[in-house]
Chains A and B, each alone.
Chain A
Amino acid sequence: MSRYKAMIYITLKEGILDAEGETVKKALISLGFDVSEVKSGKMYIIEFKCDKDPEEVVERMCRHLLANPVVNNYKYELEEL
């Protein structure tokens, strides 16, 4: 068993209104920043163990829980510990 650490980023698909992102953009602009776009998302840092294919494990975590395929995209970085 090897140990891994995954940094997983979940964002909204193109075409889905990112209400949080819009709100944050307005707030930054009102604070004086010259912002053109804000996308909001979630990040999870997960330390886990597995035998064989860590990428496959992370994919499954995303598909089965962390991301909703109807509205989310996901990407991740993986390192062995």
Chain B
Amino acid sequence: MVVIIGIPVYPGTNCDVDVYKAVKLAGASPKRIWYKDYKEMRKVDAIVIPGGFSYADYIRAGAIAARTKMTETIKELAEDGMPVLGICNGFQVLVESGMLPGALTVNKSARFICRWVYLKVARNDTPFTQLYDEGEVIRMPIAHMEGRYIPSRGFNKRLIVLQYADSCGNVTEDANPNGSYMNIAGIISARENVLGLMPHPERASEDSLGGSDGLRMFKSLIEYLRR
């Protein structure tokens, strides 16, 4: 079965081609869709919102992209159960549009950080992480200025899927690059079909480029869609 993954492209999005390459490598058929062609998004099996600087992060990162017809469409599809993965700026769009709770704001250091980090997989019972082991320590790069997760009232810790950790899997303050609450790197929605994460799995899809732990995220999603 051919799995079609829709990749929305907003003005300023710049990781769409990288996501396209990773999705292809993982065995699905990716489609980059310009934000004006939002109707095309209804024809896909799952959505991966890529990273970058949609609208140059004006107002707040992801704030303007979250209020486009493209994102409205994605939200409708998510409410109907379609799996949606938001990476970096994609995660910011998901929280700004209310598909995920909380907010993402400026890193503690107030600086942009580009760095490979260790992550602990807190849950492997989601469509995006089923090919990982619970508690597994993986490596992926982060590259963001506004990645500090702030929970909203009544935040359910069960939603935590990935946390910044050290190489042994200890979730420590030293291992937290941006000051996120509880070292949160990625969370899932209550309905468990929408995942947002700040690290870039598409940049960790090839060993020659630094590691391939990220590829399994796309493969998990594809396997989930094929079951």
Q: Do A's and B's CB atoms come within 8 Å in the complex?
A: yes
The chain A residues found within 8 Å of chain B, CB to CB, are 12, 16-17, 19-20, 22-23, 42, 64-66, 68, 70-71
Q: CA A64 – CA B1 in complex, angstroms?
A: 41
Does B73 make an interface contact (CB < 8 A)?
no
Can you list 11 A-B pairs, Cβ within 8 angstroms, ordered by A? A12-B105, A16-B105, A17-B148, A19-B109, A19-B179, A20-B106, A65-B64, A66-B59, A68-B63, A70-B102, A70-B103
Q: CA A17 – CA B64 in complex, angstroms?
A: 23
Residues from chain B with Cβ under 8 Å of A66 in the complex: 59
Q: Please name the 5 residue pairs, one residue from A and one from B, whose CB atoms are nearest each other, closest first.
A: A70-B103, A19-B110, A23-B110, A19-B106, A71-B103
Q: Are B152 and A17 in contact (CB under 8 A)?
A: no
Band of interface residues on B = 10 to 19
Q: Are A70 and B150 in contact (CB under 8 A)?
A: yes
Complex: chain A residue closest to B150, CB-CB? A71
Residues from chain A with Cβ under 8 Å of B96 in the complex: 68
The chain B residues found within 8 Å of chain A, CB to CB, are 59-60, 63-64, 67, 96, 102-103, 105-110, 148, 150, 152, 179
Q: Are A42 and B59 in contact (CB under 8 A)?
A: yes
Q: Are B110 and A65 in contact (CB under 8 A)?
A: no
CB distance from A24 to the nearest CB of B (A): 9
Supply 7 further A-B pairs (C-beta < 8 A) apart from A12-B105, A70-B102: A16-B150, A17-B108, A17-B148, A64-B67, A66-B59, A68-B96, A71-B150
Q: Are B108 and A65 in contact (CB under 8 A)?
A: no
CB distance from A72 to the nearest CB of B (A): 8
Complex: chain A residue closest to B111, CB-CB? A23
